[in-house]
Structures are given as C-alpha cells and as structure tokens.
Amino acid sequence: MNRTIIAILLLAGGLLQGCKQEVYQWRGTHRDGIFQESDLLDSWPEEGPELIWKFEGLGRGYAAPAVSNDKIFINGEVEGNSYLFALDLEGKLLWKSANGKEFLGEGFSSTYPGARSTPTVLGKQVYASSGTGHIGCFKISSGEELWALSILDNLEGELGEFGYSESVGVDDKHVYCYPGGPSTNVAALDRFTGKIAWTQSVLRDTFAYGSPVLIERSGQPMLLHTSRHNLIALDRNNGTLMASYKLEGYEYDGEHCNTLVYSDGYIYFVGNDLPGQGAFKLELSADGKEIKELWRNQEIKNNFGGLVSVDGSLFTTVQGNKLVSLDPESGVVADTLKVATGSIIFADNKFIIYGNNGTTNLVNYHQGEMEIGGEFKVRGGTGHHFSHPVLANGIMYIRQGDALMAYRVK
C-alpha cells in the first residue's frame, strides 16, 4: 500500500473519529429547552396551528417524545406495563417494546400514574426508563431489546413517592442514571452492554425528579444533576464529586423536579420548595471544582414546567398565569406577560408554553420585549396537561395522556 493511500485512510479515520453523533433527548440537544428551529410562524390562527395528525394508544402519562431525523420515540403505558413506542414522522406505529412495569402509585400518587421520562437516542440505540426504574436499551430499527436492568434490583436504588422520572443521560461510552439509593445514588453503565462502569454515593443524598445534564468544562467531561438536598457536579470518567451547592428545603410533592440549565459556564435552576432558593444563577469555575452563587430570587417558583436561559436572562412560568423574565445580573423580575402556567421551550426568538390547563401560548421575543403571537386549547388527549412540547422540522409535538399530537408551526 503506497503512502498516499495510507494518508487518505488515516485522514478519513480521523474525520470519522471527530464526527460527533447527534443526541435526541429530553428538552432538546443540550437539555436546556432550546430547539434549533427557524422560520417558525410569528402568529397562529385563532383556532391554533394546523393539527396534521394524532396518534392514540399511548396510555396514561405525560412523557414527552424524542424526535430523530426519521422517527419519534415515546414512552407509554398499557395495562400497567411500560412500553417504548416508535412512530414514523407521519404518526404511524413502527414498533413498540415492553420495558418493565410502569408507575401507577398508591394513595395520593395514584392520581399521577403512567409514563414520565423521555427516551434518549444515540447512534443505533434508544434508551428508555420506566416509572418503576426499569432501564432498557433497544435497536432503533426494530425495537429489539439489547439489554435491561432495574435501578432497584441491580443498583440498590430507591423509588420516589411519584416514581422514577429521570430521562437518562447518554454519551459515546456510558448511560448515566441516578438510582438515589443509600449506597448507590449515581451510576454509569456501558451503553452497549448495560454492565456497570462505576457507581458512587455522592454526599449520600437520595433521589429527586430531574435529569442529568452532560457538559464539558475546559475539556473536562462533567455531569450536572440535582438530588434532594444538593446540586452536584461530577467527573463523568469515574463519578467523583468535583463541586456541589446546597439546596435549601424540599417538598414531598415537588422535590427539585426541574432539570437544571447550563449555559456558558453558568447554571440556572428553579425549584418549588419552601423556603428554598426559588430561582437562582450559579457560576461554575473553569476547572469545574467550584460553584459560586451569583443571585437568587426566592419569590420565583416553578414545580416541573422547566426554565430556559436566553441572552443570560432566565425565563419560567409562575403561579398566577405569568411568564417572567429575570434580569441576568441581579435576578430581579425584569418583565412579565400573562400566559398559562406550564411547560416552556424556546426556538427562533419564540417561547412556546403548554399550560397545565391545556392552553398553549406562542410568545414572540424581540429586543427584550415579549408579545403574544397566538393561543389555542389542546384537546383530544386524556389526563393532565403536564408534558413538555417538542419542536422538530417545523412540527410541534404535544402529548396529552393517551395521545401524541403533531401541529405544523412553520
């Protein structure tokens, strides 16, 4: 083999190695509620955007979908069992695969049964977790199960009062989860075999209901997460604690349900705890070994509707049907707008808020000003309006219980 061919092969190998695979997951590419869409409608018709299809048969729950280039993956519940559904982009069922028992609850928690987490898609595999902590890895082409384990039986985990809601984090090597048990509260699994790569008992703290965020800080791969009493930053290589921040207070019906947002060295979070910090902004040092509080606003509370950071400002919805904007330097309320309190995402200088009462608002955001661009009521599903909207290729996906609906917003 001559030197030219060898050089070409080495170059091709390097290029392939440097190509990072797209991850399709909870709240968008970076789990921050921001979707890379463009040319979206600035206003919606009075009856709302066009409903192009509706898929029924998902069962109880409020798990949002993950949408790849050609498939939609969503967790559902059938007769108390958890299933991972795969649909094509026209809303046709491709396959569904069993994934253990689904969470049905007891007493008060039984009023919130069903699927809760979003699948994570990477490469040729999709990873799903049930409300009882059963984690499965499936082929995206066929739904064939490649491996599975239980956070309770295999990782000595602990199930929260409202079930296991985490959407697992995945990188090239591992699947990351928070079993929340006394001896194993964080774990990494080989993403191809499911074998345990490492476990840790970070601060010996128990579960919360958020999901991990995977970042790199100055070349250091890190995992950011919330537990019941702490916000933690871990070394992804081995799970060792690099930095932490104490979370004040917790409530049994709202224990740090939101997923934190990371952007440009800053961490944003909103809780619903009393007394609690409310909304706050932290700075993560360049080496990842220190977390510094920059501000907090204890009056701003949100249970599980999420938050987004745009140009350093934090946006979330609060009780009283308001969207609030918090000043990036002080955390004081800079602006408010009347919308339905609920789940928030952002794309193309627009917020979309899916309210807990089913009302969905479009809010245009230009030069720091917020203006309503449309409103409609989601109908046709079942149960609570708790799901987070998803945007992909000009389509907005909203799940209400048994139904997933696709609306054209471009």
Full set of structural domains in the chain with CATH: 24-408 (2.130.10.10)
Burial of residue 249, with CB atoms counted within 10 A of its CB: 0-12 exposed, 13-18 middle, 19 or more buried = middle
The token pair at 15 is 């290029």
Rounded mean pLDDT of 261-275? 94
The confidence score (pLDDT) of residue 274 equals 81
255-to-35, 134, 152, 209, 251 alpha-carbon distances in Å:
26, 21, 20, 7, 5
Rounded mean pLDDT of 262-278? 93
The confidence score (pLDDT) of residue 85 equals 98
CA distance 91 to 103: 25
Amino acid identity, position 52: I
Which is higher by pLDDT, 255 or 267? Answer: 267
For the cut 60, the answer to whether the pLDDT of residue 9 exceeds it is: no
Amino acid identity, position 54: K
The confidence score (pLDDT) of residue 389 equals 98
- The model's pLDDT over 364-402, given as tens digits with 9 standing for 90+, comes to 999 999 999 999 999 989 999 999 999 999 999 999 999
Which is higher by pLDDT, 21 or 199? Answer: 199
Cα separation of the two ends of the chain: 52
The token pair at 96 is 């569904």
Average pLDDT of the chain to the nearest whole number: 94
Amino acid identity, position 13: G
Question: What is the chain's Cα-based Rg?
Answer: 21
Q: What backbone torsions phi and psi does residue 9 show, to the nearest 5 degrees?
A: -65, -40
Would strands 81-88 and 93-101 be described as parallel, antiparallel, or unpaired? antiparallel
CA distance 189 to 177: 8
For the cut 50, the answer to whether the pLDDT of residue 269 exceeds it is: yes
Cβ-contact 376, 43 below 8 angstroms:
no
The confidence score (pLDDT) of residue 131 equals 97
Rounded mean pLDDT of 265-292? 95
For the cut 70, the answer to whether the pLDDT of residue 120 exceeds it is: yes
The token pair at 51 is 């409903």
- The model's pLDDT over 141-180, given as tens digits with 9 standing for 90+, comes to 999 999 999 999 999 999 989 999 999 999 999 999 999 9
24-to-73, 126, 217, 273 alpha-carbon distances in Å:
10, 9, 21, 30
CA distance 273 to 296: 13
CA distance 155 to 132: 13
The confidence score (pLDDT) of residue 6 equals 38
The confidence score (pLDDT) of residue 254 equals 60
pTM of this structure: 0.94
The confidence score (pLDDT) of residue 50 equals 98
In this prediction, residue 253 has a pLDDT band, given cuts at 50, 70 and 90, of: low
**Strand positions, DSSP E, 140-183:** 145-150, 169-170, 174-177
- The model's pLDDT over 48-99, given as tens digits with 9 standing for 90+, comes to 999 999 999 999 999 999 999 999 999 999 999 999 999 999 999 999 999 9
CA dihedral 13, 19, 20, 22 (to 10 degrees): -120
The confidence score (pLDDT) of residue 207 equals 86
The confidence score (pLDDT) of residue 19 equals 55
